[in-house]
Amino acid sequence: MNNVDLDGGGAKDNRKYSPVGAQDRAVLEMSSMDPDSSSDDSVRRVNVRTHASMDGRLHDNGGPRGPHSEHQLELFGFDSLVNILGLRSMTQEQISSPSCPRDNDVVSISKGDQSVKMGTMMGVFVPCLQSILGIIYYIRFSWIIGMAGVADSLLLVSLCGLCTFLTGLSLSAIATNGAMKGGGPYYLIGRALGPEVGVSIGLCFFLGNAIAGALYVLGAVETFLKALPSAGFFTETTTKVNDNVSKTIQIISTHDLQIYGLVVTIILCIIVFGGVKMINRVAPVFLVPVLISVVCIFFGIFLAKKNDPDHGITGLNIEVLKDNWDPQYQSTNSDGIPDPNGKVHWDFNALVGLFFPAVTGIMAGSNRSASLKDTQRSIPLGTLSATIVTTVLYLVSVFLFGAVATREKLLTDRVLTATIAWPLPVITRVGIILSTLGAALQSLTGAPRLLAAIANDDILPVLNYFRVADGSEPNMATLFTSIICMGCVVIGNLDLITPTVTMFFLLCYTGVNLSCFLLDLLDAPSWRPRWKFHHWLLSLFGALLCVVIMFLISWLFTIVSLALASLIYYYVSIKGKAGDWGDGFKSAYFQLALRSLRSLGANQVHPKNWYPIPLILCRPWGKLPENVPCHPKLADFANCMKKKGRGMSLFVNIMDGDYQELAEDAKEACKQLETYINYKNCESVAEIVVAPNMTDGFRGIVQTMGLGNLKPNIVVVRYPEIWRRENLKEIPGRFVGIINDCIVANKAVVIIKGLEEWPNEYQRQYGSIDLYWIVRDGGLMLLLSQLLLTKESFESCKIQVFCIAEEDSDAEVLKADVRKFLYDLRMQAEVIVITIKSWDSEGGSQQDESYEAFSAARKRVSSYLAEMKREGTGDVEEQKVEKFLYTTLKLNTTILRYSRMAAVVLVSLPPPPLNHPAYCYMEYMDLLVGNIQRLVMVRGYRRDVVTLFT
């Protein structure tokens, strides 16, 4: 069989469609390992391909089979389960099971992870505790109590603690639903809400961690300069006014904060650049002072007034607690010192933004997910335990601080925790400095790894510069994080940085809660978290609470942070690479599709809601090259049947043969067809059906394909122009069978002639779209012409409607009626009425340029009918056949006379006449389409697809 030339209608761009060949690997193939083979490498790559033979056994083509391959389970047609999964229990080898491998990745099987894994205490609880009990508790919490009073401080702590506790529940549920890779909350959000949402929130969380590093550094430097004022290079004072009494107070210079902050940041960055080993050596130095400092603070509170402390320390006193119960919001200067003329005014909302970073350490454990022995046990227990312990500590501290010092002392002594610490304030000051530096070290360690995890997912090409190999340090990400941190340190104002950190962390917490809400609400079969204490209502409440807190802090900062996340989301959706992570949105789409399908039912669709759902037969005549799954222009035509890309189409190919023998070939052909569809940017579904023959396969398709009202309603076939040139005698019967089957199945039919000349999206057409509206078809032909106008290639064309009428018909009345009908349909078109003389009066005319084709067709049909009579296979009146031939001749000559320069011609498709052989019908069609460049024949079905009413 000769292949047809497909070069006629290629796209004008530089893209080239490369069909999937037999040797291409579109899907990752995994197979067994040779049990007896050994390797000294720590990582082994498995690329062994398996093929099923006719007897049902799997044979390994990647190398010699080992002695264990002859397994008794092959009786069931499969290799041993151990071999299939690659589990080497006999040799104690383990698989590092990757979560959601990307396409074309190579699965690596390692001999085991030699790194030291951490448990719940050191891996989750202690890091969370250290992050939560950070700078805010030591040098801002007492000031917050003095400003808000004990009552509002209790409400503040409860509100923030409830937010983090609900987020911890959601985090625990998601973290226990499977293995986790690096990336912490980004990994969880991305796999639950999709790559776009995951990357946008992940980048914001990265910025929050980077800025939080500056927050901790400035807190440590401020504590140091409070302890040693003489260490400052600059001296600044301010005046505090209280009860009309002025008092000069020495404050820390912003320049000193900047200088020392930059030095400390550089030292911490050097430690981070040293790698994980150096961090593990330094980390214990920052852990111990946390507990020691807290113990010293509590001892100091209970022992206050016994060691002659500073003025304003009253010891635990119920009267002082009553005095400090109510809030006293007021204005302060930029350093937090009360000042009636201060530029900063504090209220409850502002204090929420200042305090919330104190409870943002709950993600410290999930950030170390790659270093935990058992993430599904350690993350829930460690995170929730640290949250409960610290929340209780904060609540108790509200009462203790509110009862141990006067309001003036609370508002002026920024390091009150060190002032009242026992036995020596310097111990607590050193503990504050080391604990805050430890929190800063965690931020500078976690943020680069978060950025590297986002880059390694290969969603955003712009982040490829930060990608790292497995086991390598993210040096470039660390350098970028250090630059951001030092830039925030230069700002030098702790109270301006904290709201920014708060917004990014709250955005991340919102994403975690929404992820659990979506997964819990959909309740897919894969949603089986080991942590059972969760509910979608709690997750939804947690997400709403996070949003409320964001707006309480600052509506402006909230809009800016949401706008930033939205811009990143939009950028990822445009520039990012597609990644199928099995996210919750896919499950939501599935549930929505099911509900929508059930709501549609199987009733007739109203014309206002009618969408074309074309079923496109890719190779009905089998005359394309074997490596071409579909005619290159079919997708271009399918896109022309959609308005703004909305709608569904199905590309179907039928393979003749036995299903059991051709099942694998059908899968490979389906992959090739999907590749073609994706290349043509056509939103469609590819299907390959194996049937004994074309007729049986098509009848099965028109009966079963689709669900409810989402069944295909139009069958699209290209006209078999090659049937006479290739002398394919089976095509007429197949062609007529398709049309008759569509009529029986109540499907519309669209047949394209001149598909090679069909324009693509870059080839603009001029002229007209001519409709020869002979049979009322429910408005399908009119609707298709309107859809063509929505495409760039046809938007410069105009529509002309030709109505065929007998000579004695009232042409003007018909023209007026059609114009009124088109006007009511909101369609602009020029109406032309053509009168054709009857066949009897024009029978002897030889003026038509297609008369030679008519004469040749009449001779062939006469010979065919004569042969049928000799064989006794049929009896057809030749006069009726000749009348049909002449009718199609007149229609063809009319089209050539009026529409020779048309961009495309649409004409009503005549149905196959009863008792007429398929060969005769093909002769009619050949005569109808002759000498016309682009012709679309349309036959509607027993439903209206347009309506006059609103």
DSSP string of 301-361? Answer: HHTTTSS---TTB--S-HHHHHHTTS----EE-TTS-B-TT-SEE--HHHHHHHHGGGGTT
pLDDT given for residue 583 in this prediction: 65
Beta-carbon contacts of residue 339 (< 8 Å; ≥ 6 apart):
238, 239, 240, 241, 331, 332, 333
Considering only residues 586 and 220, tell me which one the structure prediction assigns the higher pLDDT.
220
Calculate the alpha carbon distances from 458 to 208, 461, 572, 763 in Å: 22, 6, 11, 35
Q: Can you tell me which residue has the tokens 């400052």? A: 232
* Among 504, 540, 505, CA closest to 519: 540
Q: Which strands form 649-656's sheet, in the order they lie side by side? A: 684-691, 649-656, 614-617, 714-718, 748-753, 935-939, 904-908, 768-772, 798-806, 830-836
* Among 895, 770, 890, 763, CA closest to 830: 770
pLDDT given for residue 401 in this prediction: 92
pLDDT given for residue 582 in this prediction: 63
**Mean pLDDT, residues 97-109:** 39
What confidence tens digit (pLDDT) does each residue in 392-403 have? Answer: 999 999 999 999
* Among 204, 679, 141, CA closest to 410: 141
- Per the CB < 8 A criterion, the answer to whether 671 and 706 are in contact is no
What confidence tens digit (pLDDT) does each residue in 603-612 have? Answer: 667 776 677 8
Say which range, 68-77, 186-195, 522-531, has the weakest mean pLDDT.
Answer: 68-77
Task: Tell me what percent of the residues of the chain surpass a pLDDT of 70.
Answer: 77
Confidence of residue 100 (pLDDT cuts 50, 70, 90): very low
Max mean pLDDT range (59-68, 360-369, 457-466, 497-506): 457-466
What confidence tens digit (pLDDT) does each residue in 531-584 have? Answer: 888 899 999 999 999 999 999 888 888 888 888 888 888 888 887 776 666 666
- Per the CB < 8 A criterion, the answer to whether 160 and 355 are in contact is yes
pLDDT given for residue 147 in this prediction: 92
Three-state secondary-structure class, residue 788: helix
Three-state secondary-structure class, residue 89: coil
Residue 492 has pLDDT above 60, yes or no: yes
**Mean pLDDT, residues 875-889:** 81
What confidence tens digit (pLDDT) does each residue in 297-311 have? Answer: 888 888 876 655 567
pLDDT given for residue 596 in this prediction: 74
Calculate the alpha carbon distances from 523 to 348, 520, 616 in Å: 39, 5, 36
| Sequence letter at residue 532 | K
- The two structure tokens encoding residue 551: 């707006």
Residue 484 has pLDDT above 70, yes or no: yes
Calculate the alpha carbon distances from 572 to 149, 182, 195, 364, 831 in Å: 45, 20, 8, 26, 48
Confidence of residue 325 (pLDDT cuts 50, 70, 90): very high
What confidence tens digit (pLDDT) does each residue in 829-839 have? Answer: 888 888 765 43
pLDDT given for residue 598 in this prediction: 73
**DSSP code for 105:** P
- Strand ranges for 512-648 from DSSP E: 614-617
**Mean pLDDT, residues 378-398:** 91
Considering only residues 876 and 94, tell me which one the structure prediction assigns the higher pLDDT.
876
Question: Is omega for the bond preceding 229 within 30 degrees of 0, making it cis?
Answer: no
Max mean pLDDT range (98-102, 128-132, 911-915): 911-915
- Per the CB < 8 A criterion, the answer to whether 272 and 452 are in contact is no
Helix axes 195-227, 494-522, angle to 10 degrees: 150
Distance of alpha carbon 415 from alpha carbon 426, whole angstroms:
11
Phi (first) and psi of residue 833, to 5 degrees = -105, 130
- Per the CB < 8 A criterion, the answer to whether 661 and 670 are in contact is no
Distance of alpha carbon 605 from alpha carbon 611, whole angstroms:
9
Maximum Cα–Cα distance across the chain = 130
pTM: 0.64
Average pLDDT, the chain: 77
Considering only residues 4 and 627, tell me which one the structure prediction assigns the higher pLDDT.
627
- The two structure tokens encoding residue 869: 């009579």
Distance of alpha carbon 540 from alpha carbon 882, whole angstroms:
74
Convert 588-603 to b/e letters by CB count within 10 Å (16 or more is b).
Answer: beeeeeeeeeeeeeee
Say which range, 41-55, 303-317, 517-531, 567-581, has the weakest mean pLDDT.
Answer: 41-55
Calculate the alpha carbon distances from 817 to 467, 780, 822 in Å: 68, 18, 9
pLDDT given for residue 112 in this prediction: 40
- Per the CB < 8 A criterion, the answer to whether 794 and 788 are in contact is yes
- Per the CB < 8 A criterion, the answer to whether 485 and 217 are in contact is yes
| Sequence letter at residue 379 | I
pLDDT given for residue 374 in this prediction: 80
**DSSP code for 66:** P
Provide Rg for the chain, Cα atoms.
39
Convert 16-30 to b/e letters by CB count within 10 Å (16 or more is b).
Answer: eeebbeeeeeeeeeb
- Per the CB < 8 A criterion, the answer to whether 305 and 314 are in contact is yes
pLDDT given for residue 87 in this prediction: 41
Distance of alpha carbon 161 from alpha carbon 390, whole angstroms:
9
Distance of alpha carbon 677 from alpha carbon 750, whole angstroms:
20
Distance of alpha carbon 517 from alpha carbon 498, whole angstroms:
28
**Mean pLDDT, residues 497-506:** 78
Phi (first) and psi of residue 653, to 5 degrees = -130, 140
Residue 600 has pLDDT above 50, yes or no: yes
* Among 171, 155, 164, CA closest to 132: 164
Phi (first) and psi of residue 664, to 5 degrees = -70, -40
pLDDT given for residue 862 in this prediction: 85
pLDDT given for residue 66 in this prediction: 42
Which residues pair with residue 643 across a beta bridge?
646
Confidence of residue 853 (pLDDT cuts 50, 70, 90): confident
| SS3 per residue for 15-55 | CCCCCCCCCCCCCCCCCCCCCCCCCCCCEEECCCCEEECCC
Residue 52 has pLDDT above 70, yes or no: no
pLDDT given for residue 240 in this prediction: 54
pLDDT given for residue 149 in this prediction: 93
pLDDT given for residue 12 in this prediction: 40
**DSSP code for 580:** -
Q: Can you tell me which residue has the tokens 């990582």? A: 43
Confidence of residue 249 (pLDDT cuts 50, 70, 90): low
Residue 480 has pLDDT above 60, yes or no: yes
* Among 949, 944, 950, 948, CA closest to 713: 944
Beta-carbon contacts of residue 720 (< 8 Å; ≥ 6 apart):
620, 621, 728, 731, 735
pLDDT given for residue 31 in this prediction: 33
Distance of alpha carbon 769 from alpha carbon 733, whole angstroms:
31
Q: Which helix (H) or strand (E) holds 109?
A: strand 108-110
Beta-carbon contacts of residue 335 (< 8 Å; ≥ 6 apart):
238, 251, 252
pLDDT given for residue 250 in this prediction: 61
Three-state secondary-structure class, residue 789: helix
Residue 166 has pLDDT above 70, yes or no: yes
- Per the CB < 8 A criterion, the answer to whether 421 and 293 are in contact is yes
Residue 659 has pLDDT above 50, yes or no: yes
Distance of alpha carbon 781 from alpha carbon 783, whole angstroms:
5
Distance of alpha carbon 18 from alpha carbon 27, whole angstroms:
17
- The two structure tokens encoding residue 835: 């009168």
pLDDT given for residue 247 in this prediction: 59
Say which range, 47-56, 360-369, 377-386, has the weakest mean pLDDT.
Answer: 47-56
pLDDT given for residue 156 in this prediction: 94
What confidence tens digit (pLDDT) does each residue in 428-451 have? Answer: 778 778 878 887 887 888 888 888
Max mean pLDDT range (61-70, 367-376, 469-478, 694-703): 694-703
Distance of alpha carbon 67 from alpha carbon 402, whole angstroms:
77
- Per the CB < 8 A criterion, the answer to whether 43 and 28 are in contact is no
Relative to beta strand 614-617, strand 649-656 is parallel
Distance of alpha carbon 325 from alpha carbon 321, whole angstroms:
6
pLDDT given for residue 18 in this prediction: 44
DSSP string of 368-381? Answer: GGGGBS-HHHHHHH
How many beta carbons lie within 10 A of that of residue 733, not counting itself? Answer: 16
* Among 261, 184, 185, 256, CA closest to 219: 261
Distance of alpha carbon 225 from alpha carbon 678, whole angstroms:
63
Distance of alpha carbon 788 from alpha carbon 904, whole angstroms:
10
